[in-house]
Amino acid sequence: MAESKHKKGAALVTRQLEILALRSIELADQVAAGQLKFLDAVDAAYEAAVWANLPAAIDKSGLIDTTVITGDDVVQATIAAAFANARVPA
């Protein structure tokens, strides 16, 4: 029973990270198109993750070794990866 609950929690966190990545990519593309300022976009993505309590949920999920990396680190890396892959409009 506890293992099943852990798997559900991990699946939810994984889905939340996927959503954060997709939304961050959309924000990055808006920055690349000149529709949004870089810092505003990064702040929006990070604040949304914090508001959703994602860093703490990652820490509690058991998906990472919190002695090496934190949920906040994962959130920041996810956002950074999205912005590193921004597409300039054709």
- Residue 81 pLDDT: 95
- Residue 18 pLDDT: 96
* DSSP string computed for 21-77: HHHHHHHHHHHHTTSS-HHHHHHHHHHHHHHTTHHHHHHHHTSS-TTT--HHHHHHH
List Cβ<8 Å contacts ≥24 apart for 22-30: 23/48, 24/78, 24/79, 24/82, 24/83, 25/82, 25/85, 25/86, 27/82, 27/83, 28/82, 28/83, 28/85, 28/86, 29/86, 29/87, 29/89
Q: What is the pLDDT of residues 4-27, one digit of tens each?
A: 666 777 888 999 999 999 999 999
- Residue 11 pLDDT: 87
- Residue 33 pLDDT: 92
Residues (pLDDT < 70) of the chain are 1-6
- Residue 6 pLDDT: 62
